[in-house]
Structure 1
Amino acid sequence: MPRKFIKRFLPDHQTIKKQRALRMFGTILHEPNLWHLNRRSASGALGIGLFFAFWPVPFQMWLSAAAAIPFRVNLPLSVATVWITNPFTIPPIFYGAYKIGTTVLGSDPKHFEFQFSWQWVVESLSTIGPAFLVGCAICSVVGGLAGYFGLNWLWRFSVRKSWEKRRLARQQKKEEC
């Protein structure tokens, strides 16, 4: 079930290979393991994608693709997962990371107004930066591990249920004969 569900949303690997932004990886993209979808590659890709999704840097997709290649996990899933942080979800996710950072560091939360600009990020590094970066690091590691182990468990659970369903169907068929 997870395989069919994930495949429904992923683009064709030929389409991705033709993207100009990914040409910097060259012939490495012809590695079949980067496009194969199995439990190991899917859970690894989700873990890598979630890990980089919480990084407050531009070009998260390139970082995710660059990490997916040496780990030989599904490249499209890894890159697509990064998009959980998009222009609509960045403010609440990064505010939550800031709150986690202030809690971990034991500092008082400071009042600020989020602005979607690189200049605001650079200027606020001295005031809210340490708590924000610590929170992003924690969310990154926890999100990556939760994605990896969560999808791994879901995949195994789905396969186990499928096997059980087939076993019961065979057993029922024998009883009818």
Structure 2
Amino acid sequence: MLDLARGYFRKTLFRTYRYLKHPRRLKASPLLRWFSRHFLDKHVWKPTPHTFAGGAAIGCLVMMQLVPGQMPVAAILAALFRVNIPIAIMTCWITNPVTMVPAAVAEIHVGNWLLGILGHTTAAAPDMESARGLLHFVSLWLRGLDTAGALPGDGVSTLLSWVKSMLVGGVISGAGLGVIGYFATLLLWQLFATARVTVKTTVAARRAVRTATASEKKADSTPPVV
């Protein structure tokens, strides 16, 4: 049953790919040409050291922007920069409902620090409960929903200061984590590749030793010809 489902999925996927890559349809639709050039390129799906690390960097940048729609934004940016789309999307999962509030507090601290250097007046960073209310308010506002009952009780001026610091801190933190994530992913890729070669070499050496030992035993057990 699983093999049947896998075969059906592959057949459907290949049919869709051929449909979207058909020259006549590409010629007739500029939008389809753009989509095909960026989203159907093998480089954004087949990982290489550069595309994998680049996808991780894009994901690190986007995950620190604590707004809805992280995964579509990460996928579009990864396609535009020709890096791995799946790893860019999966990296966004690091900021989830469990980690988002601490990330918001950290971003506000970073934003306050940078804005303070530039001479701007900022409000003190919120505690966890106030940060949770801030994220809920921002989410409702971005979706165009009623925010009257979701306004945190710290005042509008404090709220706006937090939002500004969070946006600035998110960009700075995301850019820094993106650079770190790129080189860390390259290092992990290299370590994994080295370990894989080592394991293959060890297995091949052991197999050769076993083969040689078996050949020697077979030769010793063969009676001499008189």
TM-score in terms of structure 1 length: 0.71
TM-superposed CA distance for 1:90, in Å, is 1.4
Matched ranges for 1:1-177 at <5 A: 14=13, 26-27=35-36, 28-106=38-116, 109-111=124-126, 113-114=130-131, 115=133, 116-118=136-138, 119=141, 120=151, 123=156, 126-171=160-205, 177=212
Structure 2: gaps (5+ residues): 1-9, 18-30, 117-121, 142-150, 213-226
The alignment yields a C-alpha RMSD, in angstroms, of 3.1
Cα distance in 2 for partners of 1:104, 1:45 equals: 27
TM-score in terms of structure 2 length: 0.58
Structure 1 residues 35 and 98: alpha-carbon distance in aligned structure 2, compared to 1, 3 A threshold: same
TM-superposed CA distance for 1:87, in Å, is 2.5
Residue in 1 aligned with 2:6?
none
> Which 10-residue stretch deviates more, 165-174 or 146-155?
165-174
Residue identity (%): 23
Structure 1: gaps (5+ residues): 1-11
Cα distance in 1 for partners of 2:173, 2:187 equals: 20
> Which 10-residue stretch deviates more, 129-138 or 44-53?
129-138
The answer to whether the 8 Å contact 2:55/2:83 transfers is: yes
TM-superposed CA distance for 1:84, in Å, is 1.8
